[in-house]
């Protein structure tokens, strides 16, 4: 209800009361009606003026203050010339919208605080495990095992070296994610043949796949060329992370297949293994930092636990998408899209 409507109904009520009193004491309809009409006009003018000056202006300023503070404007701008038609209703809507916004922001802050707490806990755990292992091996070596059992000492040194490598991977991957999230990494977009990059990746990981008795192959014809626009080094990092992941969790004697498909304006790249697969309840979390579907087995295999998170960040930095589908006992497929490069003449 507007101030004019409030003034109208209050004045009308007051006029009706005056008319009733007059008719009670002086039963003259014409005189009572004229006095009541005059009372209505005068009271309407007085009430509307009072409301306008004492309440409406203040609510108008409050409305402007809320609106402009939401937009991050200066306080001087908050008291500008704009005057809403119904400041009470509009101020109520603004306050309600602002309250909902703050509730949403508080919810996001709570989620972020929970995420930071979990991330810090996971990071500390990931660091502590190899650090304590290295500390234990060094203390054993210091106790004189070098002279007593040189062979065992070499075994301890090899294990300490592997744990130090794990720490190095963890630090490098954390640094990579921090740069990707902060936007410090500038993508070097270029045109290249994705099949050449896949072949290079297969050759790079050939020794690791053979040592795990897993066959790497590309489903497409090796001579077929498909050009994309992306950061070549970053996409190779994506391919290495996905293929290494399939080698770690694939069945011995299994196969990892890399396949490309042409979409309308994109190229779909799929990395498929015939390993153990991932439970459906875990699929939505595989790209989270340090999330492991099989924690005991994952730690034995090694790695930082950040590879898939880095994959997601790199692909999203290209404004593309990455997905996973899996069936337990059958295998897992990670897929991502890349922008298709335009065909050049010559």
- 78 and 43 in a common domain: yes
Give the dihedral sign, CA 238/244/250/251.
positive
Nearest-CA neighbor of 67 among 80, 50, 53, 49? 80
CB 338 within 8 A of CB 269: yes
- 260 and 171 in a common domain: no
For position 196, what pLDDT does the model report? 94
Q: Residue 125 and residue 31: Cα distance in Å, rounded?
A: 92
Cα within 13 Å of Cα(159), Cβ side: 19
For position 8, what pLDDT does the model report? 74
Q: What is the 3-state secondary structure (H, E, C) of the chain?
A: CCHHHHHHHHHHHHHHHHHHHHHHHCCCHHHHHHHHHHHHHHHHHHHHHHHHHHHHHHHHHHHHHHHHHHCCCCHHHHCCCCCCCCHHHHHHHHHHHHHHHHHHHHHHHHHHHHHHHHHHHHHHHHHHHHHHHHHHHHHHHHHHHHHHCHHHHHHHHHHHHHHHHHHHHHHHHHHHHHHHHHCCCCCCEEEEEHHHHHHHHHHHCHHHHHHCCCEEEECCCCCCCCEEEEEHHHHHHHHHHHHHHHHHHCCCCCEEEEEEEECCCEEEEEEEECCCCCCHHHHCCCCCCCCCCCHHHHHHHCCCCCHHHHHHHHHHHCCCCEEEEEECCCEEEEEEEEEECCCCCC
- 197 and 136 in a common domain: no
Q: Residue 4 and residue 47: Cα distance in Å, rounded?
A: 9
Q: Is residue 102 part of a domain?
A: no
pLDDT tens-place values along the chain, 346 residues long: 566 677 777 777 877 877 777 666 767 777 777 777 887 788 777 777 776 666 666 666 666 666 666 555 554 444 445 555 555 666 667 667 777 777 888 887 777 676 667 667 666 766 777 788 888 888 887 777 777 778 888 888 888 888 888 788 778 877 777 777 777 778 899 999 999 999 999 999 999 899 889 999 999 887 788 999 999 999 999 999 999 989 888 888 899 999 999 988 999 999 999 888 888 888 888 888 777 665 544 445 555 678 888 899 999 999 999 999 998 888 999 999 999 988 665 5
Q: Is residue 55 part of a domain?
A: yes
Residue 268: CB partners within 8 Å, gap ≥ 6?
Answer: 260, 261, 262, 335, 336, 337
- 277 and 221 in a common domain: yes
- 264 and 134 in a common domain: no
CB 256 within 8 A of CB 271: yes
Of 28, 62, 85, the residue at which a domain comes to its end is 85
Residues in the chain: 346
- 315 and 206 in a common domain: yes
- 197 and 175 in a common domain: no
Residue 139: CB partners within 8 Å, gap ≥ 6?
Answer: none
Q: Is residue 275 part of a domain?
A: yes
Q: Is residue 320 part of a domain?
A: yes
Q: Is residue 291 part of a domain?
A: yes
For position 268, what pLDDT does the model report? 95
Q: CA–CA distance from 264 to each of 33, 250, 261, 269, 342 (Å)? A: 80, 32, 10, 14, 12
Residue 1: CB partners within 8 Å, gap ≥ 6?
Answer: 88
Domain range spanning residue 242?
190-340
Q: What is the CATH number of the domain that holds 204?
A: 3.30.565.10
Q: Residue 39 and residue 33: Cα distance in Å, rounded?
A: 10
- 243 and 307 in a common domain: yes
Q: Is residue 163 part of a domain?
A: yes
CB 44 within 8 A of CB 7: yes
- 256 and 200 in a common domain: yes
Q: Is residue 104 part of a domain?
A: no
| Whether the model pTM is above 0.75 | no
Q: What is the CATH number of the domain that holds 164?
A: 1.10.287.130
- 207 and 140 in a common domain: no
Q: Residue 51 and residue 7: Cα distance in Å, rounded?
A: 8
For residue 53, the cross-strand partners are: none
Q: Residue 205 and residue 254: Cα distance in Å, rounded?
A: 15
Residue 174: CB partners within 8 Å, gap ≥ 6?
Answer: 123, 304, 306
Of 138, 165, 182, the residue at which a domain comes to its end is 182
Nearest-CA neighbor of 311 among 340, 283, 331, 288? 288
- 196 and 177 in a common domain: no
Look at the chain and report how many structural domains it folds into.
3
Of 182, 214, 240, the residue at which a domain comes to its end is 182
- 197 and 241 in a common domain: yes
Q: Is residue 90 part of a domain?
A: no
For position 238, what pLDDT does the model report? 94
């Amino acid at each position: 209800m507007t101030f004019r409507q409030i003034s109208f109904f209050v004045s009308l009520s007051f006029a009706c009361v005056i008319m009733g009193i007059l008719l009670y004491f002086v039963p003259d309809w014409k005189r009572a009606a004229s006095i009541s009409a005059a009372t209505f006009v005068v009271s309407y003018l007085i009430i509307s003026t009072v409301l306008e000056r004492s309440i409406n202006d203040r609510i108008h300023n409050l409305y402007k203050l809320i609106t402009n503070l939401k937009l991050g404007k200066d306080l001087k701008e908050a008291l500008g010339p704009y005057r809403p038609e119904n400041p009470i209703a509009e101020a109520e809507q603004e306050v309600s919208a602002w309250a909902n916004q703050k509730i949403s922001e508080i919810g996001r802050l709570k989620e972020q605080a929970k995420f930071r707490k979990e991330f810090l806990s996971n990071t500390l755990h990931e660091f502590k495990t190899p650090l304590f292992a290295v500390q234990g091996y060094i203390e054993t070596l210091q106790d004189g095992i070098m002279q007593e059992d040189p062979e065992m000492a070499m075994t301890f040194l090899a294990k300490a070296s592997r744990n130090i490598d794990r720490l190095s991977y963890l630090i490098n991957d954390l640094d990579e994610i921090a740069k990707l999230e902060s936007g410090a990494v500038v993508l070097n977009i270029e045109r290249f043949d994705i099949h050449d990059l896949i072949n290079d990746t297969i050759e790079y990981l050939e020794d690791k796949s053979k040592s795990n008795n897993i066959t790497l192959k590309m489903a497409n014809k090796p001579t077929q060329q498909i050009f994309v626009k992306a950061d070549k080094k970053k996409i190779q990092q994506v391919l290495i992370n996905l293929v290494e992941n399939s080698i770690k969790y694939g069945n011995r004697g299994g196969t990892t297949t890399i396949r490309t498909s042409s979409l309308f304006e994109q190229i779909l790249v799929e990395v498929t293994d015939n390993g153990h697969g991932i439970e459906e309840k875990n699929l939505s979390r595989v790209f989270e930092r340090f999330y492991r579907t099989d924690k005991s087995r994952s730690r034995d295999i090694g790695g930082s636990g950040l590879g898939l998170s880095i994959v997601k960040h790199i692909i999203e930095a290209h404004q593309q998408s990455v997905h996973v589908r899996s069936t337990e006992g059958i295998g897992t497929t990670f897929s991502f899209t890349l922008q298709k490069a335009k065909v050049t003449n010559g």
